[in-house]
Amino acid sequence: MIVKDEPEETIEKVRIREYTAGMPRFTISGRPFELDHDRVERAVVGILPDPVREHYVVVGGRRFPPKQVVARATGLDRADFTTHQARRVLKRLGFTAARRGAREPETVPEGLGPHGGRQSAALAPFAGKWVALGAPAEVLVAADSPEEVLAWLAHHERRAGYGMFRVPSSVDEAEGVAPS
C-alpha cells in the first residue's frame, strides 16, 4: 500500500484560514461574500441614507434601507437581491433591522421631554449634525451642513414636515451657555 503524502500547509495559508474563520460568509445573488460588522459600517460612512419606505436597518446610529447598505458593502446592484435577503444578512452581522411604523421599544420613560422623550432619543446619535424631521421622532436625513440636507430633500422629493435644525452637540449648547 502506497501512502500519498499530503502537501504541507504554508504559514500564509494558515494565517488566511485563521483570519477568515471568524468572518461570516454569505451567498447573495449566487455570489459568495465575506462580510463583517465593521466592513459594513465602513461601507456607509460619509453617505446619506436613502428614504426608508418600509424596512430599515440601523448602521452607525442612522436608519438605512437594507438594500442600500448591502449594495454598498458588496458592490451588487440592488435589483440582484431582495430586501428580506439584505435584512437577514445584516441581522446576522448584529445590526438592528425593523419595519417602519412598527412599535419600537421605549428607550425613554413616557413623560420626560417632548413626545415622551422619544424625540430626544431619536436625535441623540445626530449631535452636532443638521437634521430634517418627517415626524416628531423620525429623522429623514442628517448631514454636516444645511445645504446637504436641502439637497437630499430635493433629490428625494421629500419635505421636512417637522422642520430642519442643527442638533446641539452638548447640554451647554442646547441651553445657550456661552463658551468659556
* Chain segment 149-173, per-residue pLDDT in tens: 899 889 988 888 888 888 888 777 7
* Helix, strand, coil share of the chain (percent; to 5): 40, 20, 45
Q: What is the mean pLDDT of residues 135-154?
A: 85
| 58 and 124 together in one domain | no
**Cα–Cα dist 145/125, whole Å:** 16
Distance of alpha carbon 141 from alpha carbon 157, whole angstroms:
13
150 lies in some domain: yes
Structurally, how many domains does the chain consist of? 2
pLDDT above 80 (res 106): no
Do residue 159 and residue 132 come from a single domain? yes
What's the mean pLDDT when you consider all of the chain?
A: 80
Q: Is the pLDDT of residue 87 over 80?
A: yes
pLDDT tier at 56 (50, 70, 90 boundaries)? very high
Is 11 a residue whose pLDDT tops 80? no
Domain end (from 45, 68, 102)? 102
Q: For residues 92 and 32, state if they share a domain.
A: yes
Same domain, 56 and 83: yes
CB 28 within 8 Å of CB 16: no
Picking from 45, 46, 50, the residue whose alpha carbon sits closest to that of residue 66 is 50
Same domain, 57 and 88: yes
Residue with cell 448591502: 70
Residue 42 structural domain:
25-102
Is the domain of 131 the same as that of 66? no
Find the length of the chain: 180
CB 54 within 8 A of CB 154: no
Q: Is the residue at 16 inside a domain?
A: no
At residue 2, the pLDDT reads 56
Task: Answer yes or no: do 36 and 83 share one domain.
Answer: yes
Query: Which of 87-91, 94-98, 108-112, 153-157 has the lowest average pLDDT?
Result: 108-112
pLDDT given for residue 15 in this prediction: 57
> Residue 108: inside a domain, yes or no?
no
CA-CA-CA-CA torsion for 68, 82, 95, 28, nearest 10 degrees?
Answer: -100
* pTM: predicted TM-score of the whole model, two decimal places: 0.62
